[in-house]
Amino acid sequence: MADLVVIIVNYDSGERLRACVASVLAQQPGPPRVVVVDNASHDDSVERLPESVEILRREHNEGYAPALSAAIASTSEPFLFTLNPDTLLEPGCLERLTEALRADLRAGAVAPTVLQLNAPTQVDASGIGLTSRMGQINWDHGLAAADLTQIPREVLGPLGGAALWRRVALQRAGGFSRHFFLYWEDMDMALRLNRAGYACRTVPQAKVLHEGSGIVGRWSSLNVFYMVRNHWQCLLGSLPGPLLLRHLPAIALAPFRAALLYAGRGRVLAAAAGLICGAALIPRALLRRRYLPRSGTSHKAAERITTLLAAADENRLLMKAAGSKARP
C-alpha cells in the first residue's frame, strides 16, 4: 500500500486510539503508512503507539480540519484515508477501498460501510447526504447491514471519520477548510468535490466499526453547538449558486429545525449559542465562495447534487420507516 497514507486526528482518545491503530496495522496487505496528528492532548494516548506510527504534534488544538490539513501537507501519497480514533477497521477494508478508488478515475472519494460499534449489525453510515430540506443525513443510518445492497452507489460524500480521498481531487477542490473546528468539514468537502467534477461511490464490502462521537460525546454541548453553528457556514459557502438560490428558504430554516431537535434533547443553550454564532458567520461563509473550485460548471454540479438530494429524501423515508418498525 505504498500509494496510501492513513491519517488519524487525535485528542485525548486514550485506549481508543491504540485500538484503532492496531486495527489499521493489521490490514493485509500492509501495514500502511500511519500518521497520527495529536491536537495538544492532555493524556498519554500517543505515547504507547508502535514505533512505525508517525506522530505529528500540534502545539495548540485548532480543530479537526486544520490538523487534518497539516497532516495532508506533510505527506505525498496519492490516496489519503482519514480515520477517527473511535473506529476499528475490519479485515480487508483498506484493500477494497483502494481498489475501488484506483478503478474509478471520476471518484474523488469512496465511502466504506460504517457500522455501529455497539450494534455491529446496524449501519451508522454508508456515506453522507443532504435532503431537499437541507438537513444532513448519515446514509442508511439504523438500517440492518444485512439488508443493504452490495452494489456500489453514488452518494454525496463519505463520512469524514472513515473516508478514502484522492489527493488530486482534494487539491482541485481547495482542501479542507480551516473554518470547521468540528463537524461539517466532510459535507463542505463533498460539496466542493462535486463542484470540481468528482463523484463519491460506496464500497459496501469495506467495513468500519464506529463508536460515534466517542471522544466529544453524542448530544454533548460541544457536539450540539458545532453541529448547529456550522450548518449555514457549510451550505452558504459551498453549495453551487443555482442550488443555493433554489433552496434558499430551506437553507434559512434548516439550522432552526436542527436546533429545535437538539433543544428537545435537553441542549437548549448549546443549540441557541450555535444559532447565534452561525448567524454571525454568514458574511464569512459568503466570502468563502470566492475560493470555490472552478474546474466544473456550477450548473452541472447543481444538476448532479439535485439528483443526490432526491435520493437522500428517499433514503431518509426508508430510515424513518425502519425506525418506526423497530420501536415497540
Domain ranges of the chain: 83-328
pLDDT tens-place string over residues 27-51:
998 889 999 999 988 888 888 899 9
326 falls in which pLDDT band (50, 70, 90)?
Answer: very low
pLDDT at position 70: 93
Inter-residue contact 61 to 181 (CB < 8 Å): no
Confidence of residue 191 (pLDDT cuts 50, 70, 90): very high
What is the average pLDDT value for the chain, to the nearest integer?
Answer: 90
pLDDT at 185 > cutoff 90 = yes
At 235 the pLDDT is: 96
More confident call, 178 vs 209: 209
CB 158 within 8 A of CB 110: yes
Percent of all residues in the chain with a pLDDT value above 70, rounded to a whole number: 95
| Whole-number pLDDT of residue 48 | 86
Q: In Å, what is the CA distance from 77 to each residue of 4, 16, 167, 218? A: 6, 26, 8, 33
Residue 2's pLDDT is 73
Residue 300 has a pLDDT of 81
Place of cell 454541548: 221
The mean pLDDT value for 164-174 works out to 95
Evaluate if residue 187 carries a pLDDT over 90. yes
Q: How far, in whole angstroms, is CA 163 from its chain's centroid? A: 7
More confident residue, 40 or 111: 111
| Rounded Cα gap, residues 7 and 87, in angstroms | 13
Please tell me the predicted confidence (pLDDT) of residue 286.
93
Cis geometry, peptide bond prior to residue 31 (ω within 30 degrees of 0)? yes
- Range 117-121 contact pairs with CB under 8 angstroms and sequence separation of 24 or more: 117/86, 117/87, 117/88, 117/209, 117/210, 117/211, 117/212, 117/214, 118/211, 120/145, 120/209, 121/145, 121/146
- Is pLDDT of 295 > 80? no
| Stretch 56-67: mean pLDDT | 91
Is residue 26 classed as helix, strand or coil in its secondary structure? coil
The cell for 275 is: 444559532
Q: Evaluate if residue 258 carries a pLDDT over 50.
A: yes
pLDDT of residue 325: 46
**Mode of pairing for the β-strands spanning 33-38 and 54-57:** parallel
- Give the cell for residue 252: 434559512
CB atoms within 10 A of CB 266: 12
Cβ-Cβ contacts under 8 Å for 192 (sequence gap 6 or more): 173, 174, 238, 292, 293
Query: Residue 191: how many CA atoms within 13 Å on its side-chain side?
Result: 26
Question: Is there a contact between 237 and 289 (Cβ–Cβ < 8 Å)?
Answer: yes
**Which DSSP category does 82 fall into?**
E
pLDDT score, position 105: 92
Rounded Cα distance between 140 and 315, Å, is: 7
User: At a CB cut-off of 8 Å and minimum separation 6, what does 117 contact?
Assistant: 86, 87, 88, 209, 210, 211, 212, 214
Predicted structure pTM score: 0.92
Percent residues over pLDDT 90 in the chain: 72
